[in-house]
């Protein structure tokens, strides 16, 4: 009896640069559950400006599969390797994938962002991203929530209304509810 696909862990799969969609199509045709987060970008050609979708994590996609049966993944055209430590693949946290899926499905503007290790952690209390945690910062006069994928050391920034978030005091976990007014939110 084959276990249900949803019971498998998510893994980051490194692809050849600009082969993310190609590899994703091949993996989908093999029946794998995958996630290729994209963002819209305007590109200028000599005769026109066109809006295209680019991967949020260039050279990577996320795939859910049985770790003991990864050979079909690594022989897929465009795939270089499954990301891990040494030759041991490391799963991506389900919470990180869920946060990215929520951000993509929200329809809010998003863009790739450099990985951050320091900053104010916040929890979204209102709007389509309710319940997500990330790092709040400001960029070009707009507020962004930065969601991190620790394994890849990459981030995604999603535009957000600053009134939607509350700071997470140091030492609190994601399960700890926040109460009271927002105070001392440094951006």
pLDDT value at residue 23: 98
Tens of pLDDT, residue by residue over 39-51, are 999 989 889 999 9
Whole-structure pTM value: 0.74
Contact present, 110 and 158 (Cβ < 8 Å): yes
The CA-atom distances, in angstroms, between 21 and each of 50, 51, 90 are 18, 16, 22
pLDDT value at residue 173: 54
pLDDT value at residue 72: 97
**Token code pair at residue 184:** 């001392």
pLDDT value at residue 85: 93
First to last CA, the chain: 52
Q: Which domains does the chain have, with CATH numbers?
A: 5-92 (3.30.70.940), 94-167 (2.30.30)
For the chain, which residues score pLDDT lower than 70?
A: 1-5, 114-119, 171-187
Q: What percent of the chain has pLDDT over 90?
A: 55
Look-up of token digits 């309710």: 130
Tens of pLDDT, residue by residue over 14-37, are 999 999 999 999 999 999 999 999
pLDDT value at residue 13: 98
């Amino acid at each position: 009896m084959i276990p249900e696909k949803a019971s498998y862990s998510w893994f980051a799969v490194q692809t050849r640069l600009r082969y993310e969609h190609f590899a994703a199509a091949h993996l989908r045709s093999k029946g794998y559950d995958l996630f290729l987060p994209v963002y819209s970008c305007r590109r200028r050609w000599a005769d026109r400006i066109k809006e295209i979708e680019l991967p949020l994590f260039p050279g990577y996609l996320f795939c859910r599969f049985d770790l003991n049966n990864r050979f079909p993944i690594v022989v897929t055209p465009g795939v270089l390797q499954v990301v891990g430590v040494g030759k041991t693949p490391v799963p991506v946290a389900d919470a990180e994938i869920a946060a990215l899926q929520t951000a993509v499905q929200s329809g809010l503007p998003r863009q790739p962002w450099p990985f951050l290790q320091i900053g104010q952690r916040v929890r979204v209390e209102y709007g389509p991203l309710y319940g997500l945690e990330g790092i709040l910062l400001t960029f070009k006069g707009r507020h962004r929530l930065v969601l991190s994928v620790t394994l890849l050391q990459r981030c995604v920034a999603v535009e957000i209304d600053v009134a939607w978030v509350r700071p997470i005091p140091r030492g609190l976990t994601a399960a700890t509810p926040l109460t009271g007014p927002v105070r001392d939110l440094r951006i």
